[in-house]
Amino acid sequence: MRTPPLSSFCFCTVSESKLKKKPSKGKAKSSLPQHLCRRFSLDEIRVATNNFDSHLVLGKGGSAVVYKGLFDDGASVFAVKYLLLGSSRQKTLEDFRNEVQLLCQLRHQHILTLIGFCDEAEDEKIIVFNYMSKGSLFDHLHGTRYDPLPWKQRLEICIGAARGLHYLHAGAKRAIIHRDIKTKNILLDDQKISKIADFSLSKIGPFSLSNTPIRIELPPLDEIELETSRTRLFGTLGYVAPELFIDTTLVTEKSDVYSFGVVLLEVLC
C-alpha cells in the first residue's frame, strides 16, 4: 500500500509548558490549537443541540454523550461529543486535550474530521466532528436498523479503514497508535465511506513503522480499561492484542494491526 504524500498533512504543536501552566483567575486562555479548527462558544453548542435535547442523542457511552447538532442556522450538521467528567475528571480532561491535539494534525479521507471544540466552561468539554449519517460498522453488522451489507461494500469499508490505519502508522514522522480499533470506532458517512474515530486513548510513537515498542505511562483505570495481574490494559476486550496482557506498557503499531484483524474476522462472520 502506498504511503500518502507528505504534502497532504497538517501538523500543529503545543508546548509542554503551556499545557502544564495553571489557568489564571477569570477566563482561562485555551492551550488548544484554535488556528487549526473552530472554537465554538457554549451558547453555539446549546443552540445547535436544542440545549442538549435527548431526542438528538446519537449515542451514549460511559464517558461521553454524542448529539446531532444543527449549526449556522441549520446549514451545517455536525456530531457533538459532550464529555462526562464524573469521578474520572482529570483523566477525562486529559483525554479531551489528547483527542483535540491529535485530530488537528490529521487530514485523511478515512479519518473522522475534527471540526472544532468548546472548552469555555470549566466543567463542560465538547468536541465537534463531521456527522456520520450511516452510524458505525458495528451497527451494520449487529444492529437491526440497517440492511445487511453486501460483500463488495464490506470489502470497500475494510480497505478504507486499512488505509486510514496505515496513514496513522506511516503518514507522519511519528507513528500514531490508536489503541482502540474496533467496529464501533469505524464510522460510515452517507456514501458509506469508512472513517476511523475516537482518538481519546491514542498515543504518538517516536517514529514510523518501527519494530521498537514505545513505553507509555498509564493513566488511572476507568470504565473502558481492563485489569490484568500486572498492570492496567487499555482498549476493548476481544480486540486487544494478547501480548499486551503480558506487558501493557509496551505498545507498537502491531497492536492496532491485531485489533484490525479482529475487525476483519467480525466482518466475515
Annotated binding-site residue? 81: yes
Q: Which of 95, 180, 198, 256 is catalytic?
A: 180
Query: Between helices 253-268 and 151-170, what is the axis angle to 10°?
Result: 180
- Residue pair 217/130 in contact (Cβ under 8 Å)? The answer is no
53 is known as an active-site residue: no
| Distance from the first to the final alpha carbon of the chain | 25
C-alpha separations of 28 from 98, 189, 225, 244 in Å: 18, 36, 31, 39
By CB atoms closer than 10 A (0-12, 13-18, 19+), residue 73 is exposed
- Between the alpha carbon of residue 177 and those of residues 121, 147, 254, 255, the distances in Å are 30, 32, 9, 8
Nearest alpha carbon to residue 122 among 89, 152, 162, 159: 89
For 163, the enclosing helix (H) or strand (E) is helix 151-170
As a whole number of angstroms, the distance between CA 76 and CA 69 comes to 8
Q: What is the DSSP letter of 244?
A: G
Cα distances (Å, whole numbers) of residue 140 to 59, 94, 114, 187, 258: 15, 31, 23, 10, 22
Dihedral pair phi/psi, residue 213, rounded to 5°: -70, 155
Residues catalogued as catalytic: 180
Q: Which residues are annotated as a binding site for ATP?
A: 81
